Every structure is written in C-alpha cells, then in structure tokens.
Amino acid sequence: MLRKHPSTTHDVDVYSVLLMSLLLGLGSPGHGTAQPTPERPADHGMGAAQPAFPAPVEPEIEEREPSVTRGSITIEGQKVDYQTTVGDLILRDDEGKAKARMTYVAYIRTGVKDPAERPVTFSFNGGPGSASVWVHLGAFGPKKALLDAEGMPVGPPPGRLVDNPYSLIDATDLVFIDPVETGWSRPAPGEDAQQFLGYSDDVAHVGDFIRLWTSRNDRWTSPKLIAGESYGTTRASGLAAYLQDVHGMYLNGICLISSVINWQTKVFNIGNDLPYALILPTYTATAWYHGLLGDRYPELEQALEDAESFALGEYASAMMLGDRLPAERRAQVVERLGQLTGLSAEYLEATDLRVEIFRFAKELLRKQGLTVGRLDSRYTGSDRDDAGERFEYDPSSAVVTGYYVSLLKDYLQRELGFRTDEPFRHSAGRRVRPWNYHEKDRVEGYNTNAYANYAETLRAAMHKNRHLRVLIMSGYYDLATPYFASDYTVDHMQLDPELREHLKVEYYRAGHMMYVRDRDHLKFRRDYLQLLQDIRSEPSSEVGRGADEEH
C-alpha cells in the first residue's frame, strides 16, 4: 500500500521501510527504540512522526444505475404501453446512515395525463424470506411463466416466458418489492441482518421503501394498494397500520392472496385443536379431487358444505371433549372423518382424530406411492419410500420454483437489462431463521399469547380508515393457508357492521397460487378489477367519523 509522506512528494512504501528497519535492528528490543505500532508509528528519519494507519472503512452502499426499458402488451383487445424500471432504493436512518439497499421492479403505464387518477399497487410474496417472483411472473405482471390450462408443467424446465393476458398493468401501475435478504436486496455493509428479520422490522422497512418510492415518483395523490401473498398478507396487515400511523399514508385497498393473519388457525401445536377443524374442508377438497370420496359428492361444493358444517359442529365439539368423548360418539366421528377425508378408520384412530398437514400429504395417496402438494394439493410427487411421516419435498413448490425462478433471472438481466454478479435469492431460506415474533411485535393489549394475530391490526386500520377496501383470495386446494381458516379469521375480526361490505372474499379451484390455473387467473383479474372499481366508487366528499375531532 502506497502512502504519501506529509513532508515530501515522493511515494514511500511504509511496509518496506518497516521491514528494512527490523532487518537492520533499528527498532529491535535492547536498542532503546520503541516498537512501531498503529498507535505509535515508526519515525522513518524524515523529521516528523507519521500518522496512525487508518482503520478500514466500510464502503458506502450505493444505488446502482437503474435499467429503464419500454414495453407493450395487448389486454382484452387494448394495446397498453408501459415503462419498466429495475432499480434500487437506499433506506437510511434519521442520521442519514445507509441501512439497506432494496431492489424493485416497477411497471408504469405511459401516456397517462394525471397520475392522481392512476392507481399504483405495491406487491410482494411471503415466506418470510421470499422474493416477489410469483406475484410478478404469475399474477400481476405483463409477463408470465407458461404452464398448461390447469397450471401443470409444459415440457421440461425452465420453460418459457409469454405475455400475460390477465396482467393488471392496464388498470394499475405495479411495483414489485424484494424485502431485505431476498432478490438483490441486502443490508448495508456493517449492518446486522437480524434487524430486518422480524414482523415489526420487516413492516417498517417495507413501509419505508413504499414511502420513499412514492416520494421519488410523485405519487402521493394516486390511489394506493398493497397486494401480498401468504406471509405477505401478514406483512400487508401490518403495513396498513404502519403507513397510516408513521407516514400518514392511508391506503385505498389491500389484496390478501392466500391469507394468514391469525397464526393460531394454522399452527399444529399440542393443545391447539383449532387448525385441525379449519383445515378439514381442504382435506375434503383434496380427497375429492383425487377421487377418494366415491360417488357421494358429484360436485365439490357439496362436499365442502358438509365438511364445513361438520368441522364447526360435531368435529370441533368432539375434540373439545378430549378423553371424555364417549366411545360410541367417537366411532361416529371417525366414520364421518373417513367419509370426508378418504383416510382409513385405523389411521384416524391412530392419530387420535387429529391429522396434521404433513401427515395428510403423505398418507392420502400412500397406497399409490404418491404424496400431495402442500401449496397446491392437486400436484403429486413421490419419495424414496412410502413409510415416512411426511413427504421429502412439496411437489407443488418444486414445479413453481422450476418454472419461475430461472425465467425471472433471465428476464431481469437479458430483457430488462439489469446486470449484476450478485446472486438473486428467490428464497432467503435459513438466512431469515428464526423470524422474530417478540412482545414488541405485538399490539399492546391484544396479542398476549404465543400466536401472532394481526387480524386485529387490520381491523384497527379499517376502523381508522373507513374507506379502506380489502379483498381476500382463497384457493380450495391450498393446504398451507386453508381457505376455511381465513374465513374463520374474518368471522372473528369483530369488524364494525358498517364496514363488513368493505371486506370481500373470493374462492378459486386451485391452490396457494390460484393464478397458475387459467380460469382462476381470469377470475383473479376480474376480482381485482372489481376491487379497483369499488375504490373508485367511494364517495370523495363524504365526511367520515371523527372528522370534526380536534387534533
């Protein structure tokens, strides 16, 4: 390393001088000369003491040059021109210190005269620890991964990218966000990644990103929506409150895709019987799809109606009785469970009437040597052997990963022109484990047990912002976030009756990513368009409750 000596213009190799001094014994012990240290530099005989060697300085993280391209697509016979930006935003603390760099992909329709009339949707996947791959190339964006009409693979991976005829770019601008530690989003040098890996921290940083993007792009007066999938629905519920309370940004709409906002409804802990009842209708749908319910139910809806009624009635009551359940009644429950799940009486007895999700996925088609998918139970796979308690992998997850991730990476680099040698993390995996659900992450006075329940956060946001519209999308074949568990959550939100029409639930004949199936993707688009229409129909002059309160 070459340093400029303060009293000369010649370059001096400090390390060479030190080495020569040692060889000549100029600074060795016994010669009355102190040893050079970073705190006490050596006197090189040039008449002045040298400054201490500076400590290494962490480089400042920077926003990379954004890539801006133009595109067009035809949707319902109308040509739509748009501009695509792939870029970064740096999140900073109050002192201006960089905390993280977050990467996004934004699609903005061109030729719009008044941005205030143009909605913008901020969208992300879940995990936690997932990049916004699937909502981008599956649900909303102008490009999609090609699957067949039922959402099954077409040829070998990685497949190919095609125009998305069900994209929402004609009706709303789109911003896809990769939270920190996903995609190309990273903590700033020297920053502990753990500060981003928890409910409150994640909500704050994604919320700050939305605030900054909105300011940079002059979109404060645009109608703003958030669309989250899976854990992204948990994040979206928190963002509704955070954006209101911290940034004064009141959302117009929230779309919860495969919702989980009360985690007690899906965590199979000993002593928590609720998930067993709420997942039962999805077990019934799965067994019906794979032909294991015989001819008892010609139509899926008939089977689901019976399963829902049994789940909330006799089945829930039987589990509440526990060991006090009479033998005769127990036998009746086992028989009915078998009729609704396709599982044997022996297996149901062995599980004490309680079949958790991974056992079901392994057991249902065990005799055929097959497993069913967790994210979408229409998909099947096979394991090394058929004797295990759970599958080796999720067949549905394997398909969507193989047919989305490589296509997105190629699309971002080759077509959209954003190149970097950094690895793109479609999933952060163990980097985000454990995810923090501390007391500080809970709403004071509400969430005092071990289960994260952010339905209350959403309710409070809807009560405060009485124009907020919420759309919940649920797939019948979704074992990960069962539709009936989402229904139960909605039914227990204690929402003001005047606001109940502001929350709508739609159902689809696919799984967690219902948009992989063509007919459901079309319905997905129409349901979202209806959400936008409902937002536009909100009276702008109405004075809400509390408008005359003093501030």
CATH number of the domain within which 131 lies: 3.40.50.1820
- In angstroms, rounded to a whole number, what is the distance separating the alpha carbons of residues 34 and 427? 54
Would you call the peptide bond into 51 cis, given omega within 30 degrees of 0 as the criterion? no
Phi, psi for 497 (deg, rounded to 5): -55, -30
Instruction: Tell me, yes or no, whether 51 and 75 share the same domain.
Output: no
3 state DSSP class of 276:
helix
Interval 433-448 mean pLDDT: 58
Cβ atoms within 10 Å, residue 71: 17
Stated pTM of the model:
0.86
Q: Which residues on neighbouring strands pair with residue 183, listed in sequence order? A: 425
Give the mean model confidence (pLDDT) for residues 18-44.
Answer: 38
CB-based burial, 350-369: b 16+ in 10 Å, e otherwise: ebebebbbbbbbbbbbeeee
Contact at 8 Å (CB) between 473 and 524? Answer: yes
Q: How far apart are the C-alpha atoms of 396 and 483, rounded to whole Å?
A: 17
CB 354 within 8 A of CB 277: no
Shared domain for 28 and 144, answered yes or no, is: no
Convert the pLDDT of each residue in 480-522 to its tens digit. 999 999 999 999 999 999 999 999 999 999 999 999 999 999 9
Segment 392-415 shows an average pLDDT of 94
Structure tokens given for 370: 């097959």
Report residue 67's pLDDT band, with 50, 70 and 90 as the boundaries: very high
Residue 82 lies in a domain: yes
Residue 231 sits in which domain range? 71-264+408-536
Q: Using 50, 70 and 90 to split pLDDT, how confident is the model at 56? A: low
Q: 104 lies in a domain? A: yes
Residues 111 and 144 in one domain: yes
Please, what's the b/e burial string for 266-300 (b: 16 or more CB within 10 A of its CB; e: otherwise)? bebeeeebbbbbbbbbbbbbbbbbbeebeeebeeb
Distance CA 108, CA 120 (A): 9
Q: How confident is the model at residue 549 (pLDDT cuts 50, 70, 90)?
A: very low
Name the domain count of the chain. Answer: 2
The tokens 């193989």 sit on which residue? Answer: 402
Does the structure show a pLDDT above 60 at 314?
A: yes
My answer on whether 154 and 37 are in the same domain is no
Query: Do residues 118 and 249 share a domain?
Result: yes
480 within domain boundaries: yes
Q: Please give the average per-residue pLDDT across 288-297, as a whole number.
A: 96
Instruction: Answer yes or no: are the C-beta atoms of 259 and 474 closer than 8 Å.
Output: yes
Please provide residue 116's backbone torsions phi and psi, each rounded to the nearest 5 degrees: -65, -20
Co-location of 165 and 23 in the same domain: no
- Are residues 81 and 51 part of one domain? no
SS3 at position 372: strand
Q: Could you give the CA distance from residue 427 to residue 412 in angstroms, rounded to a whole number? A: 17
Report, as an integer, the average pLDDT of 246-254: 98
Whether residue 231 sits in one domain with residue 95: yes
Pair (41, 103) in one structural domain: no
CA distance 492 to 255: 19
**Is the same domain home to 21 and 81?**
no
- How big, in percent rounded to 5, are the helix, strand and coil portions of the chain? 40, 15, 45
Three-state secondary structure call for residue 70: strand
d(CA 498, CA 456): 17
pLDDT at 550 over 90: no
